[in-house]
Amino acid sequence: MEKELIECCSLMIKLLDRLLEQGKITEKEHEKHVTLKKEFLDLIALIPNHNVDFPNKV
């Protein structure tokens, strides 16, 4: 699952780059969303076991 999340974020960053090049998003929007994706990837890397069971919603 970790591999798929990394691949997904990488693809989203590439898409954001293209949207910026085409002028469809601003530099500010690009930076905001790329930063969020990178922060998410950093969080994934911090999970020690990568097989975390999240509690069920009540």
CA angle, corner 5, sides to 39 and 48, nearest 5? 70
> CA torsion sign, 30 to 32 to 35 to 39?
negative
Task: Taking residues 16-44, report their average pLDDT.
Answer: 95
pLDDT, residue 32, reads 98
Confidence of residue 51 (pLDDT cuts 50, 70, 90): low
H-helix or E-strand spanning residue 47: none
Q: How far apart are CA 9 and CA 37, in angstroms?
A: 6
Q: What's the pLDDT score for residue 53?
A: 53
Q: Tell me if residue 33 falls in helix, strand or coil.
A: helix
Are 29 and 43 spatial neighbours (Cβ–Cβ below 8 Å)?
A: no
Mean pLDDT over 51-56 rounds to: 52
pLDDT of residue 47: 74
Q: Is the pTM of this model over 0.75?
A: no
